[in-house]
Structure formats: C-alpha cells, structure tokens
Amino acid sequence: MAVSGSSGSAGGRTFAVDVRASSAPGQGYDRFRHGWEDQIGGPYPAPAFTPGATGDFRISARAVLAHESVLADVRSESLIGTNGSALDQGDDLLLLHAVTSNAWEFTRQQSGRLTVPAGGFALQRSGPPTFEAARRARATVVILPARTLGPLIGDRLITGSSAAPEARLLLGHVRLVARSAPDLSPNGAQAAHLALVELIRGVLRQQPDATEAAHAPALAQAARDLADTRLADPELSPALLARELNVSVRTLHRAFAGAEETVAGYIRRRRLEHARSALLLATGRPSISELAAYWQFADSSHFSRAFKRHYGQSPAEFARASGSRPVPDRPPA
C-alpha cells in the first residue's frame, strides 16, 4: 500500500492512498481506512464499508479536503461490499459518484440495483446500507455534510447524466476546487464549499421525484397558507413561495397542475377577495386607488379590470349594487 498526504495551506489538505495490490480478505479496506483516518480524519471518519464475501477492496484514491468537502478521484480495480450508514456516529453526509470509466453498481433494498455507467452520476445520503460493485472503474467522488440538502434527497438514490447542464457546471467546479484547494485560504475554502453545496442543490432540483405527485396536494396547500400570510407583500410571487418552501419553481407549478388555478391565479384571487370585502365597509372604506396600491395591482385601472373579470362588475358597480356609497374610480383631485 502507498499512502501520502500533506497539510497544504490552512484552507485544504490532500490525501492519497493506493491499495490496489492488497490480496488478503479484508486487508484492502483496513489499509485504506487507516490511511484515510491518518490524513483526513476530523469530522470525516472513513466510509463505513464492509467488504463482501471475497473481501475484495482494491482501489486508489487521491483527495483534497476543502473546508467541509472531500473531493476525490477514485480508481477501483475491484470494489465489492456494503457501504453502511455512518448515522450512528452522528454523521449525516451526502455522497456523489460521477463515473468516468466503466460502471459503478449500487443496490438498495427499496430501489433495487442501479448501474451508473461512465458519463452518469449517483447522489445519495448516508443512511440505508448500499451494496456497491465497481471493477476497473473510475469516478469523481464528493462527500460533504447533508444539512440543508438532506430534505431534497431523503432516502432516495438519485441517478442522472453528467452531461446535463447543471451536472456539467457542478463537475467543472469540483475539478477547479480539487486543483486549487491546497492553496486556498480558510475563507476561500469555505466559499468553494458553499458554492459546491448550491451547485448540488441545483442538480437535485432538476431531478424528477417519483413521490412528487403524492406530495403535490400538501405542497400546494402549504403554498396557499404561506401566500395568505403575505398577500400585501410586494415581493410575493411563485419564486418567493418556492424559495420559502425549499422547492423549485417548476415543482411548485407542478403541484398546482391538478388544481383549478395557478399559483399566480390564487394570489390574484385572494387579493381581489380582500379588496371586495373592503368595498363593503360602511365606514373607513379605502378608495379604488388605495385598494389597488395596497393589494399590489399596477394601478387603479389594472385593479378595476381584474375585479370586473373576476366578479362581472367594476369596483364602483359592485359598491353601488351592495348599497354602499359609490366608490370613485380615482380619488377626487
């Protein structure tokens, strides 16, 4: 086995281990683990890997640690075994495998066997035991804390194409950080890590979720409830709601696909309902211009047109029909 490492700058550390020549059952992983813990250690224990019946674990890895991200180039001569959970050690990690040659197999009880060929990637969260097999394969592997990314991935094992625009951007950043990490300052390493988290978030939000349809009614209702608390907010929009609910705008629109109105349609209707109620006030009733401004319509004409489309009457016609004092279309000069 060959092991080498260096501290690099204060912002990153490097790590290298080669156990491709190991032959005794279980020997390869034990040597890898010792090398990992000597060079990386800290908040990242070695992956909780259990070699299979053959004990075959012959890989080499060159890695850098940038703040809280481990970025590794892994070459597997033969890797067979189960990557178990590290959650019992208090860790909650996200793992990315971007395969660059041959294929990497992942098998989970709930999702069956998934084969990721060269040009594909797999994203998973530490937790469910995953059987892995990789022979004469190579992959870029990224490990980082799940934290805010955890809810986006849950217990799924997500696969996709590394040719997708979001994945290309992510992997380009990984390569750049891997080259630069040893020379980064602590602040630079942290910035590189945070950018990596956001790029992975972008990849996750582009992946279809098989459970999305089942969660759509709950998501749509959560969006309605949140919108109702911010109807007078000029910043209220589908994008704001999606951001607050930690989903993509596309996912939010799909959640409303089975409803009778769009997200924007719901916001407009609820604002009109509040304006209509204000027109029924016996005293202290605002003018049409005031209602338009308060409920975020462009101007009184825009408000009047929207009101008439929805209720079949202009605001002034509605006020007269309800027995209230007519409301002028514009406040008196």
CA-based nearest residue to 246, from 154, 165, 181: 154
Which residue did the predictor score with more confidence, 138 or 43? 138
CATH number of the domain located at residue range(s) 213-321 in this protein: 1.10.10.60
For all residues of the chain together, what is the average pLDDT? 81
Helix H, strand E, coil C: the string for 178-190 is HHHHHHCCHHHHH
Percent of the chain's residues with pLDDT above 70: 83
pLDDT band at 330 (very low <50, low <70, confident <90, very high): very low
Q: From CA 207, how far away is CA 176, in angstroms rounded?
A: 24
Q: Which residues of 147-168 are buried (b: 16+ CB within 10 A; e: fewer)?
A: eebbebbeebbbbbebeeebbe
Largest CA distance in the chain: 93
| One-letter amino acid of 200 | I
Structural tokens at position 264: 């924007």
Per cent of the chain over pLDDT 90 is: 25
Give ranges for CATH 2.60.120.10 in the chain: 2-205
pLDDT tens digits for range 116-154: 889 899 998 877 788 899 999 999 999 988 877 877 787
Most confident region among 34-43, 65-74, 158-167, 248-257 by mean pLDDT: 65-74
Return all residues near 276 (Cβ < 8 A) that are at least 6 apart.
307, 311, 318
Which pTM was predicted?
A: 0.60
132 or 13, which is more confident:
132
* pLDDT at residue 85 is higher than 70: no
265, two tokens:
């349609």
> Domain 2-205 in CATH: superfamily?
Jelly Rolls (2.60.120.10)
Q: How many CB atoms lie within 10 A of CB 137?
A: 24
Q: Cβ distance 295 to 253 under 8 Å?
A: no
Residues 266 and 227: beta-carbon distance below 8 Å: yes
In the chain, CATH 1.10.10.60 covers 213-321
- Cβ neighbours of residue 327 closer than 8 Å, sequence gap 6 or more: 279, 285, 287, 288, 315, 316, 319
Please report the pLDDT score of residue 23 as a whole number: 63
pLDDT, one tens digit per residue, over 224-252 is 888 999 999 999 999 988 887 777 788 88
- Which phi-psi region, left, alpha or beta, contains residue 203 (left: φ > 0; alpha: ψ -120 to 50)? alpha
pLDDT tens for 14-30 read 888 888 886 665 688 88
Q: Compute CA distances 173 → 140, 155, 161, 167, 191, whole Å.
A: 12, 26, 16, 10, 12
Element (H or E) spanning 12, and its range? strand 12-18
> Which residues, in sequence order, are CB contacts of 164 under 8 Å at separation 6+?
203, 206
pLDDT tens, position by position, 152-187: 787 788 888 888 888 888 889 899 888 888 888 889
Q: Is 112 left (phi over 0), alpha (psi -120 to 50) or beta?
A: left
pLDDT-based confidence at 271, cuts 50/70/90?
very high
Which residue, among 69, 76, 66, 64, has the nearest Cα to 18 in the 3D structure? Answer: 76
Residue 333 clears pLDDT 70, i.e. is over it: no
